[in-house]
A and B are shown apart, each in its own frame.
Chain A
Amino acid sequence: MNLATVSLAYLRARALNTTLNVLLLALGIATITLLLLATSQFEERMQRDARGIDLVVGAKGSPMQIILSSIYQLDVPTGNVSWKHAQELARHRAVKKMIPLALADNYRGFRIVGTNHDYAEHYGVRLAQGRLWQAPLEAVLGAEIAARTGLAMDATFIGAHGMGAGEREGDVMHETHSYRVVGVLAPTGTVVDRVVLTDVASVWAVHADQYDIKDVARIAELLPDDEKELTALLIQYSSPLAAAILPRYINQNSEMQAASPAYETARLFSIIGVGIDVLRGFALVLILAAGLSVFIALYNALLERRYDLAVMRTLGASPARLMTLMLFEGALLAGIGAALGLALGHVLTELLGVAFKAAKQVAVTGWAWVPEELWLIGLALAVGIFAALLPAWRAYRTDIAGTLARG
Chain B
Amino acid sequence: MFDLRNLRHAYDGTDVLNVAAWRADQGAHWLVLGPSGSGKTTLLHILAAILTPTAGSVSVAGQDLTALGAHQLDRFRGQHIGIVLQRLHLVPSLTVMNNLLLAQYLAGLAQDGARVREVLASLGVSDKADAYPHELSFGQAQRVAVARAVVNRPKLLLADEPTSNLDDVRCAQAYGLLESQARACGATLVVATHDQRIKARMSNHYELKEQP
Contact = CB atoms under 8 A, between A and B. Distances in A.
B94 A407 contact: no
Main secondary structure of the interface of B (DSSP, over half): helix
Contact of B74 (A10, A308, A318, A407): A318
Interface centre among B48, B102, B107 (most CB of A within 10 A): B102
Nearest to A404: B85
Contacts of A317: 74, 78, 106
Interface string B130-158: 00000000000000000010000000000
B28 to A, nearest CB: 22
Interface string A218-233: 0000000000000000
A315 B93 contact: no
Interface string A312-323: 111111110100
A393 interface: no
B111 interface: yes
Contacts of A314: 48, 50, 77, 81, 83, 85
Nearest to B160: A404
A236 to B, nearest CB: 68
B102 A407 contact: no
A335 to B, nearest CB: 19
Contacts of A313: 50, 74, 77
Contact of A316 (B42, B45, B78, B92): B78
Contact of A311 (B42, B70, B74, B85): B85
A9 B75 contact: no
A4 B112 CA distance: 18
Given A311-B85, A400-B50, A5 B78 contact: no
Nearest to B95: A9
Interface residues of B, number: 33
Contacts of B105: 1-2
Nearest to A14: B93
Given A1-B105, A316-B75, A308 B51 contact: no
Contact of B107 (A311, A316, A401, A405): A316
A6 interface: yes
Contacts of B91: 6, 308, 311-312
Contacts of B51: 400-401
B163 interface: no
Contact of A405 (B45, B70, B93, B111): B45
B201 interface: no
Interface in A121-144: none
A60 B86 CA distance: 90
Interface string A289-325: 0000000000000000001101111111111010000
B88 to A, nearest CB: 9
Contacts of B83: 314
B191 to A, nearest CB: 16
B79 interface: yes
A190 to B, nearest CB: 56
B74 A316 contact: yes
Given A1-B101, A9-B94, A316 B106 contact: yes
A267 interface: no
A12 B78 contact: no
Nearest to B51: A401
Interface string A359-380: 0000000000000000000000
A401 B74 contact: no
A271 interface: no
B50 A308 contact: no
Interface of B: 41-42, 45, 48, 50-51, 70-71, 74-75, 77-79, 81, 83, 85, 87, 89, 91-94, 98, 101-108, 111, 148
Interface of A: 1-2, 5-6, 9-10, 12-13, 307-308, 310-319, 321, 400-401, 404-405, 407
19 contacts: A1-B105, A6-B91, A9-B93, A9-B98, A307-B87, A308-B92, A313-B74, A313-B77, A315-B106, A316-B75, A316-B77, A316-B108, A317-B74, A318-B74, A400-B51, A401-B50, A404-B89, A405-B45, A407-B89
Closest 9 CB pairs of A and B: A316-B78, A13-B93, A1-B101, A316-B107, A401-B51, A315-B106, A317-B106, A9-B93, A401-B45
